[in-house]
Structures are given as C-alpha cells and as structure tokens.
Homo-oligomer: A and B are copies of this chain.
Amino acid sequence: MTPLQIRPVSQEWLSEALEYHNTLTKPPGALGFLEALGCRLAAIQQTLRPRLGKGAVVVCAADHGVTLEGVSAYPSEVTAQMVLNFRAGGAAINQIARASGAEVVVVDVGVSGGEDADPAGAAGLLPLHSRKVRRGTGNIAIEPAMTLAEAELAVRAGLEAAREAIRGGATVLAAGDMGIGNTTAAAALTAALLGLPPEAVTGRGTGVDGARYVKKLEVVRTALSRFEAGRHASPAPLTYLAELGGLEIGAIAGVFLAGAEAGLPVVTDGFPVTAGALLACRIHPEVRGYLFAGHRSVEPGHARQLEALELRPVLELDLRLGEGTGAVLALPVLRAAAEVMAGMATFKGAGVADST
C-alpha cells in the first residue's frame, strides 16, 4: 500500500486544552470523562473550541467462508439481506444514525450473494459502494481468508468510501460491520495481533449456544495454529488480515486510516470493528490518537481489545449487534464534549467566584 500521511495528534494542544478546561465555570474535573473527550477533540482539531458537525458511519459488509463450520446462529444469506435492509433504512443503524446526526454509507467488500437484490440506483435505496473483492473469505479453519493482494483491496475499499464521506462533509467517522461469522474471524485476528489465547477472545457472537460455541472456539484455535505454522517472521499487518480475515474487517481498518489521514476523530464500535481498529493501528500507529471507543460490548474479547488500545468506552449498554450502532450512539456524547469547550464561559468571563 502507498504509505499514508497521518499527522501525530499534538500533545501541546492536549496540554493547553486540559489547562483551558479548568478555567470554565464548573469545579475542575466535574465533567469527568467528558472533559478528557473534549480535550482530545480539541487536540485533534487544534483548537480550544472544538465542534463536531455531521458524522458518517461506514458500514462494511462481507461474508465468511468459516460459516461452513457452523459457527453462527444465522445463515450466510443474512449478510446480503441486511445490506438491503441498511439501504432501505430498516436496520437499527439507520434509526440510530438519524437520531445521532450521521449519514449511513454502505460498502459491499465481499458479500457472497446479493447481486440480484442490488440494482444500482434502485428507487428509495441508499447507494451502495460496490467493492466486492471476492465472494466471502476462504474458510479459515483450513485455508487463508484471502490473498495479500485481496487484503490490500479490502482495506482500500473502506479507505476510499470513507474519503468520499469526508469530501461530503463528515467531520467524524464511525465504522460498522455486517458479516455472518465475523466474530470468529475477529477472534482469530485479535488473538494473533495481541498474542492472546483463543479462550480470551472467543465469545457468543450473535448468540451461539453451548455446542456451537465449542465448535467456534475449536475453529479459532485451528485457524491460529495454521497461522502460526506459517512461521511468518514479524508478519506485516496485511498478512494477519489475509490469513485470518475478514474482508469487512480490512475495509474497517481502511475507514480508520482515512479518518486519521484527514485529521478527524474516528469511533470504534464492537468486537469486529475494534479488530479493524487494531489492524489500522498496526498499519499506522498514529491512528491511535484519533480513536474513540464508542462502547464496550458484552463480547469478552472486546474488553481485551480496548485494554490493548488503552481506550475507555463512552457507553456500556450490553450491546452486541454491530453495524456501528454503539459507535453512533456515542456520537452525541462526543458532540456534547466538544460543545462544552466551544461554548462555556470562563470563571473570569462570567464573573463567577472560583473555589476557596
């Protein structure tokens, strides 16, 4: 991949923002985590009066060959059906995005089916970024998810869709995922990237039961063994993606890269999206400075990812849906964190007595 230019977030602006926050008409620190969020936004925007306008959530969809192993409660066809649901405005992410002032951008980076149900410019549907790299990944229990060239195309698909949203006026980006089977890929990828055992990162996904969970854990273990047997000496970030998948996780990494490249805050969602965030940070470590954790889900591996990224989640609502729902739910809190800095009076300006 062509190397991206990502400016490190300014530590000087961060210090100045923290100092400025203490001049505002409230006891120092009384807005808790909201103050830290506001200061980070100020540093990213290089102003003491940050503002968040319209947002965009880039929902990346693809299928997973590993569903052949019976690791999900839903059939693969649901991925294409949900892509159509996103475009028709009927999914959870559509409602939450409308409520949160964000545009929904849908990217097909590798959905198996869906072409018939997918007429370009069909009446009343949101447009689709049609960037199918391949029809679903390989079955990672027995083979690589994709080639290195395909991995690069997947990242590029998300990068370019996000760049277009930024040209369209988005001032903050969230990423969302849709892909039946993708918590299996995300578990394998997270375990490999963070050096964690499969048990620490394999959860129930959309709701697999006891026997299917055991199968899922076995598949993650097998995929990791295959990856390790490949003896990749200090593997490149795209090697992890090519070996373990998925296509939409690669595209999500591209969304975060594009946001950071443009100097915009970027917001993670749940477990598969945060796997994309980990990958983006591995591709370019300066992405980390632009990342906000929208929420912490009930998926156990998600907490491990956030610990590794040293990100405190804005929300903890026991979500486990994906689509970017938890990221977009957090946008109004981020917007309020910015507004507080942009609009509050100082003790001096308002003639309010400070603490004794």
Contacts and interface: CB of A to CB of B under 8 A. Distances in A.
Contacts of A319: 30-32, 34
Contact of A352 (B31, B32, B78, B332): B78
Contact of A73 (B27, B96, B342, B344): B27
Give the interface centre of A24, A315, A317, A342 by most chain B CB atoms within 10 Å.
A317
Contacts of A85: 25, 345, 350, 352
A78 B350 CA distance: 11
Interface string A342-356: 111100011111111
Please tell me how many copies of the chain the complex holds: 2
Interface string A215-259: 000000000000000000000000000000000000000000000
Give the interface centre of A30, A77, A345 by most chain B CB atoms within 10 Å.
A30
A4 interface: no
A339 B340 CA distance: 26
Contact of A91 (B28, B73, B95, B345): B345
A110 to B, nearest CB: 19
Interface residues of A, number: 62
B95 A343 contact: yes
Give the interface centre of A82, A318, A320 by most chain B CB atoms within 10 Å.
A318
A59 to B, nearest CB: 14
A28 B207 contact: yes
A274 interface: no
A298 interface: yes
A54 interface: no
A310 to B, nearest CB: 17
A318 B352 contact: no
Interface of A: 24-34, 73-75, 77-78, 81-82, 84-85, 88-92, 94-96, 98-100, 206-207, 298, 314-321, 325, 329, 332-333, 335-336, 339-340, 342-345, 349-356
17 contacts: A26-B91, A27-B206, A29-B207, A29-B320, A30-B320, A32-B318, A73-B355, A81-B350, A81-B351, A85-B345, A90-B349, A91-B344, A95-B342, A95-B344, A98-B339, A99-B336, A317-B333
